[in-house]
């Protein structure tokens, strides 16, 4: 069921974005009285699942869920309709319009996608505000991925700053290292402060290990609620109990407790518990899944959350800022792709789908949709033939040189771009398949 919820969110999110992207092209085409022959969600190679015609345009749903398209009369696109292009240009065709109008038609999809992301971020901030645990609230310190231990970090350390820039949220640590190319951390260990230099190859080691979370908050294991009929219930565990040891092993923090508990599946362990300042020892049965049967208090309730609420109009500039920051970070991350380890991190639909939660959450869904809208806008504006950016590149050439590239050149460019895109699609989804089969 978790898998299908992820798939459903992915399909719904991409469908919304594809329709809006193609509507951007459609809007400017109709504004300049250019005929749009087809408007499709998904590709209709051979046949369509559903279609109807209104005016000059056929609207439909294809069977191949790899995007969507609008077919604009008189334009060299993925349809490669050479028969139409061999005829004399008609007034309603794309090729008959001034270059500035064709330029707006081509950038329409990207513009709408970026506006969509801004509007979604605006509405998210207005509806839910912003909430995060400030890094300074890490009273128990952090625990780290093993790759961070290799460069000298220890569980319990706090990272205060990177290259002099304060760490406000620990989720930004990886970004500050990978994207901002941080060179040195200011670390607090107990009562001492010191600078830890970041090795030059640390970026590639993070990528090679596929590190998603470099640092997490250490929190004590405090019982929030107990499941009826579970080992925890039978042992008498209560809300507010703090578990500090299992058998003879000290497990003061939840990540240590969780790791050790997984080794006790199907056994009974002697849990040392603090309740109202008094130490108790309770025999607790651990089920076959390595669980006692209680929910632990989350970091937010233990460490405290910084909340920011926005009024309707206050959320608008904050939404713009968020959209610009997401775009800026994404562009900076692209340089990582041009390395052996970075290329291995490329992913297709499987990777994108894995970003959605296994339980439906509208706030996360809309946040992911806004993020994907930014990516779709940027990727489409890249100057690659067959993408919107390729058409924009040739139109800018036409405006500057005052002459069009030949139709034959545009056909070859379109075919080259399609080959590149299909190759990238196969490579990215091949990475997903490899990870699924062998990792």
| pLDDT, position 209 | 79
CB 420, CB 78: distance < 8 Å: no
Interatomic CA distance for residues 438 and 52, integer angstroms: 45
**Least confident stretch, 158-162, 179-183, 217-221:** 179-183
Question: Assign residue 386 a region: left if phi > 0, alpha if psi is -120 to 50, beta otherwise?
Answer: left
Interatomic CA distance for residues 111 and 167, integer angstroms: 33
Q: Which two tokens stand for residue 67?
A: 């995007």
Interatomic CA distance for residues 326 and 33, integer angstroms: 35
* Percent of the chain at pLDDT exceeding 90: 33
Q: Helices H, strands E: what count in the chain?
A: 15, 16
- Does residue 82 carry a pLDDT above 60? no
| pLDDT, position 86 | 61
CB 265, CB 288: distance < 8 Å: yes
pLDDT tens figures, 394-405: 888 888 888 877
Q: How far is CA 168 from the centre of its chain?
A: 20
CB 371, CB 378: distance < 8 Å: no
Other beta carbons less than 10 A from residue 47's beta carbon = 9
Query: Could you give the angle at which helices 99-128 and 362-381 cross, rounded to 10 degrees?
Result: 160
**DSSP conformation class of 171:** G
C-alpha closest to that of 56 among 76, 73, 31, 40: 73
Query: Which run of H or E residues covers position 39?
Result: strand 36-54
- Does residue 349 carry a pLDDT above 90? no
Rounding to the nearest 10 degrees, give the CA dihedral for residues 204, 210, 215, 221. -160
CB 350, CB 165: distance < 8 Å: no
| pLDDT, position 92 | 85
| pLDDT, position 104 | 93
CB 127, CB 119: distance < 8 Å: no
Other beta carbons less than 10 A from residue 183's beta carbon = 14
Q: Which two tokens stand for residue 315?
A: 């959320």
Other beta carbons less than 10 A from residue 435's beta carbon = 16
pLDDT tens figures, 311-342: 999 999 999 999 998 888 888 777 766 666 65
Interatomic CA distance for residues 127 and 204, integer angstroms: 39
Residues of each domain in the chain carrying CATH 2.30.42.10: 221-296
- Residue 421, helix vs strand vs coil: helix
C-alpha closest to that of 195 among 207, 210, 183: 183
Average pLDDT, the chain: 85
In CATH, the architecture of 221-296 is Roll (2.30)
Interatomic CA distance for residues 186 and 165, integer angstroms: 9
Spatial neighbors of 91 by CB under 8 A, at least 6 apart, are none
Confidence label for 434 from pLDDT (cuts 50, 70 and 90): low
Q: What global pTM score does this model have?
A: 0.83
CATH number assigned to the domain covering 130-219+299-308: 2.30.42
**Least confident stretch, 25-34, 113-122, 174-183, 402-411:** 402-411
* Percent of the chain at pLDDT exceeding 70: 91
- Does residue 388 carry a pLDDT above 90? no
Q: Which two tokens stand for residue 188?
A: 């607090």
| pLDDT, position 46 | 78
């Amino acid at each position: 069921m978790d898998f299908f919820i992820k798939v459903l969110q992915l399909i719904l999110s991409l469908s919304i974005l594809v329709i809006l992207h193609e509507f951007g092209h459609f809007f400017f085409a109709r504004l300049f009285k250019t005929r749009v022959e087809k408007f499709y969600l998904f590709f209709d190679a051979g046949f369509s699942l559903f279609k109807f015609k209104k005016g000059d345009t056929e609207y439909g749903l294809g069977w191949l869920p790899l995007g969507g398209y609008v077919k604009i009369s008189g334009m060299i696109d993925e349809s490669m309709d050479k028969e139409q292009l061999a005829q004399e240009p008609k007034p309603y065709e794309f090729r008959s319009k001034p270059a500035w109008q064709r330029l707006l038609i081509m950038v329409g999809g990207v513009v709408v996608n970026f506006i969509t992301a801004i509007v979604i971020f605006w509405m998210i901030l207005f509806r839910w505000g912003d909430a995060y645990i400030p890094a300074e609230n890490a009273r128990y310190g952090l625990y780290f991925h093993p790759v961070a231990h290799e460069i000298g970090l220890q569980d319990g350390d706090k990272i205060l700053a990177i290259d002099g820039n304060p760490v406000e949220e620990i989720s930004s640590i990886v970004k500050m290292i990978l994207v901002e190319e941080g060179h040195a951390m200011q670390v607090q260990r107990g009562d001492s402060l010191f600078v830890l230099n970041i090795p030059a190859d640390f970026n590639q080691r993070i990528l090679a290990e596929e590190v998603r979370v470099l640092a997490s908050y250490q929190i004590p294991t405090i019982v929030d609620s107990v499941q009826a009929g579970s080992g925890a219930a039978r042992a008498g565990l209560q809300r507010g109990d703090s578990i500090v040891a299992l058998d003879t092993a000290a497990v003061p923090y939840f990540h240590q407790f969780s790791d050790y508990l997984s080794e006790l599946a199907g056994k009974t362990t002697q849990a040392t518990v603090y309740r109202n300042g008094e130490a108790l020892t309770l025999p607790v049965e651990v089920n076959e899944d390595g669980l006692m049967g209680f929910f632990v208090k989350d970091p937010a309730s233990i460490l405290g959350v910084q909340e920011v609420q926005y009024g309707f109009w206050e959320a608008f500039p904050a939404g713009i800022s968020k959209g610009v920051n997401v775009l800026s970070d994404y562009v900076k991350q692209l340089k990582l792709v041009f390395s052996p380890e970075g290329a291995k991190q490329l992913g297709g639909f499987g990777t994108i789908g894995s970003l959605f939660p296994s339980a439906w959450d509208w706030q996360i869904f809309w946040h992911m949709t806004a993020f994907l809208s930014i990516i779709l806008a940027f990727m489409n504006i890249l100057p690659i033939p067959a993408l919107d950016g390729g058409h924009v590149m040739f139109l800018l050439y036409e405006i500057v040189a005052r002459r069009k590239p030949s139709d034959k050149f545009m056909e070859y460019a379109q075919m080259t771009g399609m080959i590149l895109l299909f190759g990238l699609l196969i490579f990215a989804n091949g990475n997903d398949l490899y990870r699924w089969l062998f990792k």
